Amino acid sequence: MAQIDFGGVMEEVITIEEFPLERAREVLGKETVAVLGYGVQGPGQSLNLRDNGINVIVGQREGSATWNKAVEDGWVPGETLFPVEEAARKGTMIQNLLSDAGQVATWPIIKECLNDGDALYFSHGFSITYKDQTGIIPPDNVDVIMVAPKGSGRTLRTNFIEGSGLNSSFAIHQDYTGKARERTLAAGIAIGSAYLFPTTFKNEVYSDLTGERGVLMGCLAGVMEAQYNLLRKHGHTPSEAFNETVEELTQSLILLVAENGMDWMFANCSATAQRGALDWAPKFKDAVTPVFDTLYERVKSGEETRRVLDANSAADYRQQLNKELKVIHDSEMWRTGATVRSLRPENRRMP
């Protein structure tokens, strides 16, 4: 396995060169991989496994919209698509990709389906790390492993189809068979990881929950809204405010940052933008650091976990979620966004 220098820190990285797909197929050759859940991660991971020649089945609640989606994707009821409990009983590697609340609700059933030497696989450290709240404590006679793609299941699938991959972290919480690491790496390669890097269940969930609430979604959405509202308050049109806040970022600048880094971006923008970015970046950093400190402590203490489990277990969870999403959808900013997206060249006929 390669040791890579990340800014002066050496880290282990596993790529398909070190762990080829053929080796993954050999390791998983006698496994029945049961993917439980067909919501966020389930489709991407299961379809990639199937396309890579792995024996995979899907477990999902019958009659649900996601059950129907699985059928549309080619999973056959009674052959490769089963109710959750039946799939778990058939699997030797049980990939528990249900929602965090769903994992808590189904754990008493799933636990009874585990056989000696099975692998219990997660893509999130949530259930194991916060076991005092989730009640998920695996038996001693199974491997407990994790592969966590650093992106959505949709992106994992799209990148796979395009011939690339998505970076994933991996961890071994419990190695009962002595083969947990090999099984983990094989699964990571087979689901379409570009490269794999080691973590722990605890570190994964701490960084993941912080990132989702921070830069990846919560902070990004909040900062965008603040700038958009500021520009509108000072008389800028919706189109101008949205383009300067969202469109230029998502359609141009962030793509260049992804390709070349922020230092390159600063070095290759106008002198005016360059000076302003260099001067104001530290101010924003100082402003949000206390918020991030509070966020991380809430993640570490389990307060964010309690919030998630309480909210997602409520009988009216879906109705309340839809109300909150509707507020965003109906806001001027994101109604403007829908119009701006419709005007992109790829969405309209150009002369």
DSSP structure string for 41-77: SHHHHHHHHHHTT--EEEE--TTSHHHHHHHHTTPPB
Gap between the Cα atoms of 56 and 33, Å rounded = 5
pLDDT at 291 (0 to 100): 97
Can you say whether residue 2 is alpha, beta or left, with left for phi > 0 and alpha for psi between -120 and 50 degrees? beta
Among residues 124, 173, 234, 329, the one annotated as catalytic is 124
pLDDT at 313 (0 to 100): 85
Gap between the Cα atoms of 219 and 106, Å rounded = 32
pLDDT at 351 (0 to 100): 53
Q: Dump pLDDT digits (tens) for 282-308.
A: 999 999 999 999 999 999 999 999 999
Q: Dump pLDDT digits (tens) for 89-122.
A: 999 999 999 998 899 999 999 999 999 999 999 9
One-letter amino acid identity for 111?
Answer: K
pLDDT at 171 (0 to 100): 98
**Residue 193: in which H helix or E strand, if any?**
strand 193-198
Gap between the Cα atoms of 17 and 14, Å rounded = 8
Strands of the sheet containing 119-122, edge to edge, are: 2-6, 9-15, 193-198, 166-174, 143-149, 119-122, 93-96, 33-36, 56-59, 81-82
Beta strands of the chain (E only): which ranges?
2-6, 9-15, 33-36, 56-59, 81-82, 93-96, 119-122, 143-149, 166-174, 193-198
Domains annotated for the chain, with CATH where assigned, are: 2-199 (3.40.50.720), 211-347 (1.10.1040.10)
CB 196 within 8 Å of CB 205: no
CA 10 to chain centre: 25
Contacts of 191 (CB under 8 A, 6+ apart): 44, 45, 48, 49, 147, 149, 156, 168
Q: Spell out, as residue ranges, where the chain has pLDDT lower than 50.
A: 350
329 labelled catalytic: no
